[in-house]
Amino acid sequence: MTKTAFRAGLAALATATMLLSGCGGSDSTEPKGGTTTAASQAPADNGVAAMTADEILTKAKEALTKAGSFHMAGSATTDGETMSLDFKVAGKDFVGTMSMGKDAEVEVLAVGGKQYMKPSEGFWAMIAGPEQAKKMVAATGGKWVLVPAKDQISGLFAAADVNELLKPGGTLSKGEATKVGEQPVITLKDSSDADSLVFVATTGEAYPVRIGPSATGEGVTFSEFGAKFDGIVAPAANQVIDQATLGK
């Protein structure tokens, strides 16, 4: 990624030649996990605000890994194009959608060590041009495309890797204490990218609850920590086409 893997979720929209350069948009949702509804029910301070920036990041990774599952959603606007994602992650598996503009959308699924995608014609066109896109749509017939583990498009599947998702591109420093919604957080800054702030909960579990340029408005939010997602299921064999066979 151009600056930092703090944006791994949104940068999953990247193809071999296109990477995001910032977080943006206003479609993100406030995280459900860790929010408080009344002072009497407020979870205790978890101590991370007193730690160093590197220690806080370690705690955030540990908390997200321990949760086992989470929901991440948000959007970005780069060079006039709005990109968005909505993923439900469970361990190394996940299901979700990504889009760029009005026409380029791709469903993604990772389950049982295999990676699948179901691109729209607009997404194929973004990668290979409009003429090739029509051929790809005809060849896939609406089926899931099985993507090799190491491929120029395999970056689409980086979202489930907690270490990559929360991997700074430069030196970390600790920023201000603030709130994401009603959730108290501490801010982590990355020297390589001023727009990729990470907001870590300072009460309850030390979850990363938001990534973005500010605590409100723009960015990617995390919620539903530890939830069970029933939709992460491998497609039937007759609904899958191997990417290696396309174009042959």
- What is the chain's pLDDT, residue by residue, as a tens digit (248 residues)? 223 333 443 444 443 223 222 333 333 444 444 443 334 466 889 999 999 999 999 999 999 999 999 999 988 776 777 778 899 999 999 999 988 877 888 899 999 999 999 989 998 888 788 888 898 899 898 999 998 877 666 677 877 788 888 888 889 999 999 999 999 999 999 998 877 899 999 999 999 999 888 898 778 899 999 999 998 999 999 999 988 777 55
CATH code: domain of residue 60 = 2.50.20
- Residue 245, in any domain of the structure: no
- Residue 217, in any domain of the structure: yes
| Cβ(183)–Cβ(209) below 8 Å | yes
Q: How far apart are the C-alpha atoms of 147 and 15, rounded to whole Å?
A: 13
Domains identified in the chain, total number: 1
pLDDT of residue 19: 27
pLDDT of residue 152: 64
Those residues with Cβ within 8 angstroms of residue 197's Cβ, 6 or more apart along the chain or in another chain = 175, 187, 188, 189, 190, 211, 212, 213, 214, 215
- Residue ranges making up the domain that contains 217: 5-228
pLDDT of residue 43: 81
pLDDT of residue 192: 86
- Residue 114, in any domain of the structure: yes
- Residue 149, in any domain of the structure: yes
- Residue 137, in any domain of the structure: yes
- Residue 234, in any domain of the structure: no
CA 51 to mean position of chain CA atoms: 26
pLDDT of residue 49: 96
Q: How far apart are the C-alpha atoms of 169 and 17, rounded to whole Å?
A: 20
pLDDT of residue 248: 52
pLDDT of residue 195: 75
pLDDT of residue 13: 41
pLDDT of residue 171: 93
- Residue 243, in any domain of the structure: no
pLDDT of residue 3: 36
- Residue 241, in any domain of the structure: no
